[in-house]
Amino acid sequence: MFQKILIANRGEIACRIMQTAQKMGIQCVAVYSTIDEHALHVQMADEAYWLGDAPSQDSYLRGDKIIAIAKKSQAEAIHPGYGFLSENADFAEACLKAGLVFIGPSPKAILAMGDKSKAKAIMEKAQIPCTPGYHGDNQDADFLLKEAQKIGFPVLIKAAQGGGGKGMRKVENARAFKEALESAQREATSSFGDNTVLLEKYLENPRHIEIQIMADNHGNAVYLFERDCSIQRRHQKIIEEAPAIDLPSDLRRKMGETAVMAAKAIGYSGAGTLEFLVNDADTFYFMEMNTRLQVEHPVTEIITGLDLVAWQLKIAANAPLPCSQDDIKAQGHAIEVRLYAEDPSHDFLPAIGQIRYLSWPTASDTVRVDSGVEQDDTISPYYDPMMAKLIVHASTRSEAIDTLKNALKQTHIIGVKNNKLFLQNLIDLKDYTAGKLNTGFIAQHESALKLSHADMNDTIVCGAALYEILHLEIFVANSEDTFSPWHRQDGFRLELSYQRVMQFKDRNTVYTVKVVYHSESCYSIFVNDRSCEIEMVDMLAASSQSEPDVQCGHAVNTSLYALTPHPCGARSPLDIGFRLRALHCGTQRKMPKNIDEAIHYMKVVGVGQERWIICENKEYYLEVVEDNATAAADSEKTGHLNAPMPGVVIAVHVKNGDKVRKDDCLMLMEAMKMEHSIYAPEDGVVREVFYSVGDLVEEGAELLVMEV
């Protein structure tokens, strides 16, 4: 077995490989770009070396630098993970020439099956049904358009190399073809260093089923059952399950045997996945083979009890497969969801930002979290936006869904937009529970999947107000001059009580909060016209505390039970606990429904003017309104085009004075290897362009001005 390996990747998969390798007594070498210097995979490694600047072309796609580091560190082998150079035959060949073991298939096998076009040709020769399309060498745009017309629209343009939905575009008609082709080719170059594409007939709403295979260097190959990967957005999977439900046993066996036959036919070695489309008639079409470990491999590991990374390492060290096909059994049902930094409300556009608070569910026999990020990490625009994978296991699919729901409730990612709530809504759908899965699932349930945020209530607003008060107290408590009158925060006034007015807003409402300071630990808080009064008392004495003498309204016994400042800045997370108790004060005013006698625990996270409140596993959002200002004006102004996401400008198609028509593409942005086009909203004239190619743009930044 190897003594030391280099992992030519980053993030979650680099951490995943290290976990197994280090358990096996293998030292791990990490590589990192400038922006990843303090990343989790760097911390976990036994050694770490700088590769280059943040763009992948300058770092994780630099095979020459990676090989040089491997030799310098005296690593014996290189594990490519997935993405980047994992399916690059030239890199695999360069490793072998440098005397390094490439932990994966041979360069010949990568060329045969890693190239989607060549893989289809091999499958057709073996009389295995393939999706109708063109997968030849001619990449001329006019020729490809003619081929698309022969196939019939809609067609799918796909990068011949790589995977993960990168370099893939659905095209509805001939008019849109060339623009989509250019976009797919750019994305393929950025992600895989190769702009070759193929064309496929776009099949409406099939199931996406894939077969996991493992093969050794001695001619042995097995399949480890299948995964259903039908739930996708942007042609990229977000939920995977194993085994696939309602798949006929004879079809399952035939697909597995087909996958093994394909692997043996090309002398395949290592982990690989054959992907198929299954239609309503239970016939299947070969799509492609991924000559690497898949993102969704954990669901296969869980139902089989096998460690696929350990198998990869042993196979690369020339060991035979540890068991035969008959020895491989499946137990229970596993589901994996991918947690992405993205905005589901805006076409799943990538998001960037700092993770201000992060909480995962507790790992157990039924819950697993694979992640490469930590609290305070920054999600950048340079790499794939996946932050983690949450995997659950149970004896039945129904139990696995329940386990997943509970695990997602315990998951909190604060500070960067993400798809957690979207996933929660999706797995709550009756059609998902019933297993009615297909690749068009999200589009079919678009209206039901529109995000609905937790309803705001006075209890949450009071928690936000307490956060402001307590943070100020913490700040003052750290003051060096304890005798200064400014050190006191009890609001002392001669014969007067100090009052402070705050304003918060959610998406629909502005809340005016008046805080009356009675002493260092006693406050009255009034929310809008609902006279909710809060008194802060010692938690231990709360049960025996007599009701305060108030003139009207509803008083609430409140106590801070923990202060947990986090080193992310002055506005750090606080844990707050308080008891709500209605008082009978001789008023007939109806008590607000959200005031009760329960004890509420909250975690409040503040960043700038933003406040996130986590209460009873729900997340609420408020903004602090300064100087009694009302909600900020919408940034979308007539004639002004703003960046829908943070990213890099990769193309500018217009200049000052240009006349444009509605729906003309004016500019292209890229974030996390995904492109987004900026279109003209109306006919008009471009008056000013503010950014050039290569500029880094923040979300909401004004890109250009049009006269419409």
**Which sequence positions are flagged as catalytic?**
292
Give the residue among 464, 471, 469, 477 at the shortest CA–CA distance from 564.
471
* 286 bridge partner residues: 130, 276
DSSP string, 492-557: EETTEEEEEEEEEE-SS-EEEEEEEEEETTEEEEEETTS-EEEEE--TTTTTTPPPP--SSSEEEE
Maximal CA-CA distance, the chain: 94
H or E segment and range at residue 158:
strand 155-159
The DSSP call for residue 34 is G
Cβ atoms 358, 373 nearer than 8 A: yes
Centroid of chain to Cα 490: 44
Can you tell me the distance from the alpha carbon of 694 to that of 174, in angstroms, rounded to the nearest whole number?
Answer: 30
* 391 bridge partner residues: 336, 368
The counts of H helices and E strands in the chain are 16, 41
* Paired tokens of 363: 């790992």
Q: Determine whether 375 is exposed, middle or buried from the number of CB atoms within 10 Å of its CB (0-12, 13-18, 19+).
A: middle
**What sign results for the dihedral spanned by CA atoms 125, 128, 131, 132?**
positive
Coil vs helix vs strand at 572: coil
Q: Residue 281: which residues within 8 A CB-CB, separation 6 or more? A: none
Q: Residue 243: which residues within 8 A CB-CB, separation 6 or more? A: 225, 226, 227, 228, 252, 303, 330, 333
Can you tell me the distance from the alpha carbon of 694 to that of 650, in angstroms, rounded to the nearest whole number?
Answer: 6
Cβ atoms 612, 619 nearer than 8 A: yes
